[in-house]
Amino acid sequence: MKLNERSVAHYALSDSPADHTGFLRTWWGSGTAPGPSGAGRRCWFVLKGNLLFSFESREGRAPLSLAVLEGCTVELAEAPVPEEFAFAIRFSAPGVRPYLLAADGPAAQEAWVKALSRASFGYMRLVVRELEAQLREARKSLASHRRSSCRAAASRCKPPAPDHCSPALENGHSPCKDRSPGSTAEEGGSRPSGWASLEWEVQGSASLLLGRGQSPVSPETSCFSTLHDWYGQEILELRQGWLKRARVGRAGWEQKDRP
Amino acid sequence: MRYNEKELQALSRQPAEMAAELGMRGPKKGSVVKRRLVKLVANFLFYFRTDEAEPIGALLLEHCRITREEPSGFSISFVEDIERKYRFECCSEEQCQEWISALRRASYEFMRRSLVFYRNEIQKMTGKDPLEQLGISEEARFQLSSLKA
């Protein structure tokens, strides 16, 4: 099976942020032995998104290995030699060999296990989706707050502002609308309990927050700069529409004016 | 670079964001258009022979550029060699648009940027950090400072 390896290696070395780095002892593919053996090999590891790269050294310019952290669980494990801080990445698909790794100390071990267990694309997507919903709510309640204050002032009210005020927002939409977050296979039942409870935590507090978002807007949202930006956006939109209409109108006049 | 094929094969069997039979032409000189099943899963695009269960190949969709190609197709190339294009042919304009927008959203780095954008916006509007309320504000992957402008 082919992979765009050159691009993958380029990504590994690019200056996009690493989510975790450090030295780990590894037993993967060491020598020809089928199973792990010996003291393993000390390599520099870089976690970027859902990809875990290893390098010969910190300055290594070519990744030695790549692991794709999808459909896997991370758990504490026993190393083949007395090594106290080992952990394993296990894949739910049958026949995929787990990776056995070991950190230098308990703090490093914990940090790695935490970072690796939250590395999947599905986890990132879940959080993005949650924030997307929160922002929509915040905008809605701000708009309704504005509407009610308009009414109070008995002034002419404009239609509520659109949900999307910037192109980045539109692009950030979660790709799959037809599936609920819990039903994708990569987020399926094969996660360790820690993962499952974390997801539950995220979703649980999400619904709490959404509930709160429906209440009338909180006092913080009426701070001047927020409102200024908010009205500013609307004025820009109105101005654009006005300019367009003015152009069309002018074109019409010019035609009529001709003999 | 060592990677486990079985790991990628397992990922290719996961539910897809998008999947369709498209015409595909590799970046090598003289390569011809072939019918392929193309499947988008997470930030990988897998392609299969139409009668085979295992993919022939995968493209990691980080640091890539998706370009509209006439008449109704698109291409994927990667930053280290932007002229080296994987070309795809769709059966309609509409299908092509769907693929382009799905592929542009498919990178982890794009997700991260969206997250930072939302986090910022929500904080500006409500004065509260939404991630703090979710108890994950300390996670390295969600930090504003880790992103270069």
* Domain CATH code at residue A109: 2.30.29.30
A3 to A16, A166, B41: CA distances (angstroms): 21, 35, 14
Do A125 and A36 lie in a common domain?
A: no
The domain spans of chain B are 5-106, 110-142
Q: In terms of domains, do A49 and A67 share one?
A: yes
**Does A144 touch chain B if contact means CB atoms closer than 8 Å?**
no
The mean per-residue pLDDT over the stretch A59-79 comes to 93
Contact B134, A198 (CB under 8 A): no
Residues A51 and A108 in one domain: yes
> How long, in residues, is chain B?
149
Do B15 and A184 make contact, defined as CB atoms within 8 angstroms? Answer: yes
* A86 and A156 share one domain: no
Using CB atoms within 10 A of its CB, is residue A70 exposed (0-12), middle (13-18) or buried (19+)? buried
Mean pLDDT across the stretch A145-164? 57
Please check the confidence at residue A35 and state whether its pLDDT lies above 70.
no
Helix (H) or strand (E) holding B21: strand B18-25
If asked whether residues A109 and A37 sit together in one domain, one would say yes
Please check whether residue A59 lies inside any domain of the structure.
yes
Q: How far is it, in rounded angstroms, from Cα B44 to Cα B99?
A: 13
A112 and A155, same domain (yes or no) = no
* Interchain contact, B102 vs A29, CB within 8 Å: no
Domain B5-106 is of which CATH architecture? Roll (2.30)
Asked if A10 contacts B80 with a C-beta cutoff of 8 angstroms, the reply is yes
Are A73 and A99 found together in one domain? yes
Regarding whether A214 and A162 lie in a shared domain, the answer is yes
Same domain, residue pair A163 and A90: no
Q: Are A128 and A229 within one domain?
A: yes
For residue A238, tell me if it sits in a domain. Answer: yes
Q: Does residue A141 sit at the B interface (CB-CB below 8 Å)? A: no
Distance from CA of residue A213 to its chain's centroid?
22
Residues β-bridged to residue A242: none
Residues of chain A found within 8 Å of residue B126, distances taken between Cβ atoms: 138, 218, 220-221
* pLDDT of res. B42: 97
A63 to chain B: which residues are within 8 Å by CB? 1
Q: Which domain holds residue A51?
A: 5-117
Assess if residue A100 is contained within a domain.
yes
Q: Which of A9, A138, A205 sits opposite B126 (nearest CB)?
A: A138
Chain A residue nearest residue B127, CA to CA: A220
pLDDT score for B140: 75
Q: Work out the pLDDT band at A251, boundaries 50, 70, 90.
A: low
One domain, residues A71 and A45: yes
What are the chain A neighbours of B102 within 8 Å (beta carbons)?
175
Give the per-residue pLDDT at B138.
80
Q: Give the nearest chain A residue to B139 (CA atoms).
A: A115
Residue A258 belongs to a domain: no
The pLDDT tens digits of the residues spanning B76-122 come to: 999 999 999 999 999 999 999 999 999 999 999 999 999 999 999 99
pLDDT attached to residue A154? 52
Phi-psi region at A29: left, alpha or beta (left = phi > 0; alpha = psi -120 to 50): left
- With respect to residue A252, please indicate whether it lies within any of the assigned structural domains: no
Residue A222, classed as helix, strand or coil, is helix
Instruction: Out of A91, A117, A143, pick the residue that ends a domain.
Output: A117
The pLDDT of residue A145 is above 90: no
The number of folded domains in chain A is 2
The answer on A67 and A16 residing in a single domain is yes
Tokens representing A158? 């404009």
The model's pLDDT over A91-103, given as tens digits with 9 standing for 90+, comes to 999 889 899 999 9
Q: Report the pLDDT value the prediction gives residue A184, as an integer from 0 to 100.
A: 37
